[in-house]
A and B are shown apart, each in its own frame.
Chain A
Amino acid sequence: MKNLVRELRTEAGLTQQQLAEMVHVSSRTIISLEKGQYNPSLLLAYRLALVFGTTVEELYCLAENKEQEDREHDDWE
């Protein structure tokens, strides 16, 4: 799922390890999140949003991702 974790992390001047420690996960999880390979739990997404001072909706581009999923759903039907 598309997200702004990498952009916001670099803006905040944090390393992956530092961010991982702040949200109580491994740095591999942060790498995976930034690549969009792993979708976080609701609580982890909320923790990340709090760290960056944003909302889960913005951090995870939910409007855009929803539109894309709706399109894929329509194509499938």
Chain B
Amino acid sequence: MKIYNKRSFAAGLLSLALAMACGVVLLTTGFAAKWLIALALLLAAGGFDLWWSLSRESRLPRADERDEAVSRKSAWLAYRIVANGCWIAGIGVMVLYAVTRTPAALAVTLTLDAVAIAAFLALLGANVYYEKRM
């Protein structure tokens, strides 16, 4: 038995683990239709994913090298658009807060800046990871 699609296999295991959790909830808290439905759906999804991951047809096609390059460049551009957009919008809303003193504007600017900082930290982490491996 060979696993042809590791992502599908992992998804299957996760679904089965969640199905087990639903089963535990059912046993401990008593019968509830929502948990039974969730259990049945997760079992079906997990079973299908596991079966599919062991099928030769689930093999991912070999990625074309230009497609990979296009994907890398698009991901980098998308990151820059989102991160810089968050900074710019955050500053804009901060100015709005300074003028209007609306509490909602403060919440929005903090959220946007938090997203930008989280994206930057993720970029730093990824950079350190690849610096060591390339």
What chain B residues lie within 8 Å of A24 (beta carbons)? 62
Classify the interface of chain A: helix, strand, loop or mixed.
loop
B66 CB within 8 Å of chain A: yes
Classify the interface of chain B: helix, strand, loop or mixed.
helix
B66 touching A29 by the CB < 8 A rule? yes
CB distance from A47 to the nearest CB of B (A): 11
Report the count of interface residues on B (CB-CB < 8 A). 6
A62 CB within 8 Å of chain B: no
A26 touching B66 by the CB < 8 A rule? yes
Report the count of interface residues on A (CB-CB < 8 A). 10
Interface string of B57-98 (1 = CB under 8 A from A): 000001011110100000000000000000000000000000
A66 CB within 8 Å of chain B: no
A25 touching B64 by the CB < 8 A rule? yes
Interface-side segment among A11-19, A37-45, A48-56: A37-45
Residues of chain B whose beta carbon lies under 8 Å from any beta carbon of chain A: 62, 64-67, 69
